[in-house]
Structure formats: structure tokens, C-alpha cells
Amino acid sequence: MLDALIGFFRNPQPDVTLSPADGRIALAALLVRVARADNNYDPSEVAAILDVLKNRYSLDEAAAHALQKEAEELEAKAPDTVRFTRAIKEAVPYEDRRTVVQALWRVALADGERDHQEDRLIRMVVSLLGVNDRDSALCRQKVLAQMSA
């Protein structure tokens, strides 16, 4: 399965159609990409990724780790962020995409730093997901409030 996904994310004109379940690996890989955007894959960001995966997909610790490792491999081999967002758009209804944006902010802010590279990537992803800047800002504020509680 991972080889098919890597092929999808590498080929300019992929002949692979992703299922809604593949949105899960696309989201996990996108979370990894956000965490790595500042060239510092911090343990707190990894912990946030694992927490998002466990809660969003009702995974146990071992399954979340396996998905995270698979996502790291996919993210490293897939040059195109646009395809991640396309897979997520196909798998996640519009009304639930704000929770995706919250997950992105949660990972980006997990290390206590607001990095301009992570901000830039999230702005691009939010746009590609069809979520407006105002909703993204509200998502970020909600995450910050949860982190300070």
C-alpha cells in the first residue's frame, strides 16, 4: 500500500485513485511535513502528531506509532504538498476540515515556537483545503487556548 501511495505522490499524472481511508495517511504525512518545515522535528511535535492520530482515528499507541512512521517515510519521498491536501479534501467533508487545520496548528505550535516556515506552509495548506484565513486564525486561537488551559 505504501508503494502505491508513494507512486501517487511522486508521479505528475498518477494513475492511482486514493480511497477515503488514504486520507488518513495523507493527513499524517502532512502533519509530519508541518513539523519538519522549520528543520527541527521536535519531540513535542512528534508527541502532538501521535496524539492527533490517536484521537482522530481512535488508535492505540502502537497503531499511532506505526501510522506516524509510515507518514514519515511517505513525507520524505513525496515532493508535492498539493497532493496531500487533495487526498484530504477527497476524504474529509468541508465542515470537518477546520479540525484538520486545528491539528496542523497543534503540531506547529507544540514546540512553543511560532516559526515563519510552518506559518507559510499552513497558510498554503489552508488555502488548498478551501478553508479561509479567518477560520484558520480561529483554529490557531482555539489551539493556543487549549494549550494554555
Residue 91 lies in a domain: yes
Burial class (CB in 10 A: 0-12, 13-18, 19+), 35: buried
Q: How far is CA 146 from CA 22, 25, 26, 57, 105, in A?
A: 29, 25, 25, 20, 11
Q: Which domain holds residue 106?
A: 20-148
CATH code of the domain in which 98 resides: 1.10.3680.10
> Does residue 70 surpass a pLDDT of 60?
yes
Residue 32 lies in a domain: yes
- Dihedral sign, Cα of residue 138, residue 38, residue 79, residue 60: negative
Q: What is the pLDDT of residue 1?
A: 47
Q: What is the pLDDT confidence band of residue 21, given thresholds at 50, 70 and 90?
A: low
Average pLDDT over residues 28-55: 96
Contacts of 86 (CB under 8 A, 6+ apart): 128
> Does residue 9 surpass a pLDDT of 70?
no
> Does residue 138 surpass a pLDDT of 90?
yes
Q: What is the pLDDT confidence band of residue 79, given thresholds at 50, 70 and 90?
A: confident
> Does residue 135 surpass a pLDDT of 80?
yes
Residue 13 lies in a domain: no
Residue 8 lies in a domain: no
Grid cell for residue 64 = 499511532
Residue 65 lies in a domain: yes
Residue 136 lies in a domain: yes
Instruction: Name, of 9-18, 34-43, 91-100, the range with top average pLDDT.
Output: 34-43
Q: What is the pLDDT of residue 6?
A: 44
Q: Full-prediction pTM beyond 0.95?
A: no
Q: What is the pLDDT of residue 23?
A: 85
Return the beta strands (E) in 79-130 as ranges. Answer: none
Q: What is the pLDDT of residue 83?
A: 87
By percentage, how much of the chain surpasses pLDDT 90?
A: 74
Q: What is the pLDDT of residue 15?
A: 47
Q: What is the pLDDT of residue 19?
A: 56
Residue 1 lies in a domain: no
Residue 3 lies in a domain: no
Number of domains making up the chain: 1
